[in-house]
Structures are given as structure tokens and as C-alpha cells.
């Protein structure tokens, strides 16, 4: 198993459920996962205990991991409101 660069950002939000219900966010997650298919992965989930949405990206390179994570974090902030 190859270890890939990984980025994990905990995004404080006003409403984690609103972010996870966003069709725009779901489409972006699918799009980014599709672009990384076979080379990396994306995981976006609401925290079970805090008003956070966790965004994790693994990609072949640091720059790609940063770019994908940055796009998803920005969208989470747009859809849920920053706490």
C-alpha cells in the first residue's frame, strides 16, 4: 500500500446538517472523488459531537491534495455558514 499525501480540515460551521444536506456539496464530493478515482479519495462527514464538518483528501501529490481540500472546505463554508 502506498501512502498518499493527506489533508484533514475540521471546518467549524453553524449547521453541520445543512452542509451535509447540500446537493451542491454532494455533487462536488462526487466530482472530486471521480477525478481522483484510483489515485486517491475524498471523505466529507459531519462530526458526531461538534458543530464541525470534517474534510479529508488523499491525493498523489501535496499540491493536488491542497487544491481539492481547499475547494471542498470553501464549499462547506458557503453551504453551512461558518461558526
Write down the domain spans for the chain: 6-80
Phi, psi of 9 (to 5 degrees): -125, 125
Query: What does the pLDDT look like over 13-54, one tens digit per residue?
Result: 988 888 899 999 999 999 999 999 989 999 999 999 999 999
**Statement: the pTM of the whole predicted model exceeds 0.85:** yes
Residue 3's pLDDT is what?
A: 85
**H or E element in which residue 46 lies:** strand 41-46
Query: How does DSSP classify residue 83?
Result: -
Residues in CB range of 69: below 8 A, 6 or more apart: 7, 9, 55, 56, 57
Does the domain at residues 6-80 carry the CATH identifier 3.30.310.50? yes
Q: What is the pLDDT confidence band of residue 76, given thresholds at 50, 70 and 90?
A: very high
Let me know: does 66 contact 56? Beta carbons within 8 Å. Answer: no
Amino acid at each position: 500500500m502506498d501512502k498518499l499525501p493527506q489533508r484533514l480540515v475540521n471546518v467549524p460551521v453553524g449547521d453541520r446538517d445543512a452542509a451535509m444536506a447540500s446537493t451542491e456539496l454532494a455533487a462536488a464530493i462526487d466530482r472530486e472523488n471521480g477525478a481522483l478515482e484510483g489515485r486517491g479519495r475524498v471523505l466529507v462527514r459531519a462530526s458526531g459531537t461538534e458543530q464541525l464538518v470534517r474534510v479529508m483528501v488523499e491525493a498523489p501529490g501535496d499540491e493536488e491534495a491542497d487544491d481539492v481540500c481547499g475547494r471542498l472546505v470553501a464549499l462547506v463554508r458557503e453551504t453551512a455558514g461558518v461558526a
